[in-house]
C-alpha cells in the first residue's frame, strides 16, 4: 500500500512536531543543568578552598549540577575554620538576596580520625 500525498504530509508534520518537542525539552534540561551548576558552585555549595577532594558521587549527567551530588573532601584546617568558611559563604549568599531556586545544599564538617584536620561532606541537589 502506498501512502497518499496527504498521508505523507501528515507523517512529516507529526515527525517535525515530535522532533521540535524533544529539542525544546533538551534545551530546557541543558539550561537547568547550567543554572544548577552555577548556583551550586558559586553560591550554595562551593568547594572548600584548602581542601582536597577524596570522592565524588552523583546520579545524573555530571557532578554538582542537576541531580544529587555528594562530595567528600579533607583539609589540614581545623573543624572550626572550615565551619566558619561555610557560615561566611551562606551569609554572603543571603546578603546577596540569592534565592534557593532549584538548588539545595548542606555541608557537614567533622574532625579526621587522627585529630589533625577536617573531613568535609558536601551534599547538593538541584531539580529534585
| Domain extents in the chain | 5-126
At a CB cut-off of 8 Å and minimum separation 6, what does 15 contact? none
Q: What is the pTM of this model?
A: 0.78
The three grid cell numbers given for residue 83, joined into one nine-digit string: 565551619
Kind plus residue range of the DSSP H or E element containing 52:
strand 51-58
Q: How far apart are CA 42 and CA 77, in angstroms?
A: 21
Say whether pLDDT at 8 is over 70. yes
Of residues 19 and 100, the one with the higher pLDDT is: 19
Stretch 63-92: mean pLDDT: 91
* Average pLDDT of every residue of the chain: 87
Q: What is the pLDDT of residues 21-69, one digit of tens each?
A: 999 999 999 998 888 888 888 778 889 998 899 999 998 888 888 889 9
CB 64 within 8 A of CB 73: no
pLDDT score of 20: 95
pLDDT score of 5: 65
pLDDT score of 26: 94
The three grid cell numbers given for residue 105, joined into one nine-digit string: 545544599
Amino acid at each position: 500500500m502506498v501512502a497518499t500525498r496527504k498521508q505523507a504530509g501528515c507523517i512529516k508534520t507529526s515527525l517535525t512536531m515530535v522532533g521540535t518537542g524533544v529539542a525544546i525539552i533538551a534545551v530546557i534540561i541543558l539550561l537547568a543543568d547550567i543554572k544548577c551548576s552555577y548556583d551550586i558552585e558559586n553560591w550554595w555549595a562551593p568547594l572548600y578552598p584548602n581542601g582536597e577532594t577524596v570522592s565524588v558521587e552523583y546520579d545524573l549527567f555530571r557532578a554538582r549540577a542537576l541531580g544529587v551530588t555528594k562530595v567528600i573532601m579533607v583539609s589540614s584546617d581545623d573543624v572550626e575554620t572550615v565551619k566558619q568558611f561555610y557560615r561566611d559563604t551562606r551569609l554572603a549568599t543571603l546578603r546577596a538576596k540569592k534565592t534557593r531556586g532549584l538548588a539545595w545544599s548542606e555541608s557537614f564538617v567533622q574532625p579526621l580520625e587522627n585529630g589533625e584536620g577536617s573531613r568535609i561532606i558536601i551534599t547538593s541537589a538541584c531539580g529534585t
